[in-house]
């Protein structure tokens, strides 16, 4: 018999959870020792069975509500929240107030995620599920990234010593946008206005005050990456006068290995694409323009990538795209991630 749409969705969700490091089990066969992160199917809650209950270190931390493809997921967020508030006693142990922070709604094609601990929490689209280790890290933090971003402008005013007016305006505008829970921003500055310096300045603040774990700085040519690295090497923090690289590690990526200890990783779009695809990058590809690279790939308008466990969706808290009008927004050189818009 052919699978129903609901069964097809469950198969896809099972595969995605497994790829993201979860051990998928039926409730009747639960084995807490099978892995750090357990995704239990059909757990009987007080209000009825939930599709998946996520356990990390034997504690319930989240819910996955599964729906058939085509379902409007924004309409099931409250259902997932209700499930999260009705845990049986033996599973609620260790969960603050018996409520779960991490809520997912998924069709196996589209997935939404909401962190209930955020100020004004809302569901947002993600490319895949987060790893168990990541949820454990977030649970151990006293507040969330979005909570820190909301507080940052008021609690940590920008030190403007040595900055141009346009740089001050760009950084304050960006931080205002992030504080208002608008995670995408476009900074438009004239040539010679010090765009990379501005990026160094707000990256420093996001790391120091926002507690960002890692930032990805995307360029479309390796020589621009060299210039960016030089800017970070020379950047002195306005509050302490110390060099950025005395405080934080910066990596200009020339291989497929992303150093986990680096706070800033500089990478070409071409190299990131090859890493996500698990393919080798030709020796001269880093120096191609986006259009030249697309042509070398066959000129396809969009090229999909799939989930790569080596670069999970939470690898970077922020992505800075240099010269986005020349790279990302040019359809001939856009690489699709099948709906991925936000990672954290």
> Domains of the chain: which residue ranges?
5-140, 145-333
Q: Is the pLDDT of residue 64 over 80?
A: yes
pLDDT interval class at 98 (50, 70, 90): low
Mean pLDDT of 82-110: 76
Q: Which of 342, 340, 194, 219 lies closest to 272 in space, CA to CA? A: 219
pLDDT interval class at 305 (50, 70, 90): confident
Residue 152 to residue 140: CA distance in whole angstroms:
20
Higher per-residue pLDDT: 9 or 22: 22
Q: Is the pLDDT of residue 198 over 60?
A: yes
Q: What is the pLDDT of residue 332?
A: 35
Angular region, 322: left φ>0, alpha ψ -120 to 50, beta rest: beta
As a whole number, the mean pLDDT across the chain is 84
> Domain 145-333 carries which CATH code?
3.40.50
Q: What is the pLDDT of residue 340?
A: 30
Q: Is the pLDDT of residue 333 over 60?
A: no
Q: What is the pLDDT of residue 342?
A: 38
State the Rg of the chain over Cα: 22
Question: DSSP per residue over 43-84, as a string?
Answer: EEETTEEEEEEEEETTEEEEEEEE--TT--GGGGHHHHHHHH
CA 216 to chain centre: 11
Mean pLDDT of 294-311: 72
Mean pLDDT of 162-172: 94
Contact in structure between 109 and 12 (CB atoms under 8 Å): yes
Dihedral over Cα of 257, 260, 262, 264: its sign: positive
Q: What is the pLDDT of residue 336?
A: 30
Q: What is the pLDDT of residue 293?
A: 64
Q: What is the pLDDT of residue 81?
A: 66
Q: What is the pLDDT of residue 301?
A: 54
Give the range among 44-58, 135-149, 196-210 with minimum mean pLDDT: 44-58
According to CATH, the topology of domain 5-140 is: tt1808, chain A (3.90.1570)
Type and span of the H or E element at 251: strand 250-252
Contact in structure between 312 and 130 (CB atoms under 8 Å): yes
Q: What percent of the chain has pLDDT over 70?
A: 81
Q: List pLDDT tens digits, range 220-261.
A: 888 889 999 999 999 999 888 999 999 999 999 988 889 999
Q: List pLDDT tens digits, range 31-48.
A: 888 899 999 998 888 777
Q: Is the pLDDT of residue 338 over 60?
A: no
Higher per-residue pLDDT: 178 or 98: 178
Q: Is the pLDDT of residue 275 over 70?
A: yes
């Amino acid at each position: 018999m052919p699978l129903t749409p609901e069964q097809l969705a469950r198969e896809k969700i099972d595969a995605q959870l497994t790829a993201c490091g979860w051990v998928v089990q039926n409730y009747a066969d639960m084995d807490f020792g099978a892995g750090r992160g357990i995704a239990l199917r059909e757990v009987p809650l007080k209000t009825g069975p939930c599709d998946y209950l996520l356990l990390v270190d034997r504690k319930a931390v989240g819910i996955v509500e599964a729906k058939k493809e085509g379902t409007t997921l924004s309409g099931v967020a409250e259902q997932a929240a209700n499930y999260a508030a009705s845990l049986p006693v033996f599973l609620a142990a260790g969960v603050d107030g018996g409520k779960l922070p991490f809520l997912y709604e998924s069709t196996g094609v589209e997935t939404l995620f909401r962190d209930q601990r955020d100020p004004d929490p809302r569901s947002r689209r993600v490319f895949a599920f987060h790893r168990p280790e990541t949820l454990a890290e977030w649970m151990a933090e006293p507040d969330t990234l979005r909570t820190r971003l909301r507080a940052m402008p008021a609690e940590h005013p920008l030190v403007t010593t040595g900055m141009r007016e346009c740089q001050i305006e760009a950084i304050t505008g960006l931080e205002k946008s992030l504080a208002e829970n608008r995670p995408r921003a476009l900074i438009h500055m004239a040539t010679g206005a010090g765009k990379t310096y501005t990026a160094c300045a707000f990256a420093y603040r996001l790391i120091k005050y926002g507690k960002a774990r890692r930032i990805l700085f995307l360029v479309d040519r390796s020589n621009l990456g060299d210039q960016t690295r030089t800017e970070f090497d020379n950047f002195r923090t306005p509050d302490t006068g110390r060099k950025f690289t005395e405080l934080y590690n910066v990596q200009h990526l020339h291989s497929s290995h992303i150093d986990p200890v680096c706070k800033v990783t500089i990478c070409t779009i071409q190299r990131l694409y090859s890493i996500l695809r698990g393919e080798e990058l030709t020796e001269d590809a880093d120096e191609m323009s986006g259009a030249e690279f697309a042509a070398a790939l066959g000129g396809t308008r969009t090229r999909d990538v799939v989930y790569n466990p080596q670069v999970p969706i939470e690898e970077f808290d922020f992505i800075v795209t240099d010269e986005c009008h020349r790279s990302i927004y040019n359809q001939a050189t856009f690489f699709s991630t099948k709906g991925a818009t936000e990672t954290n």
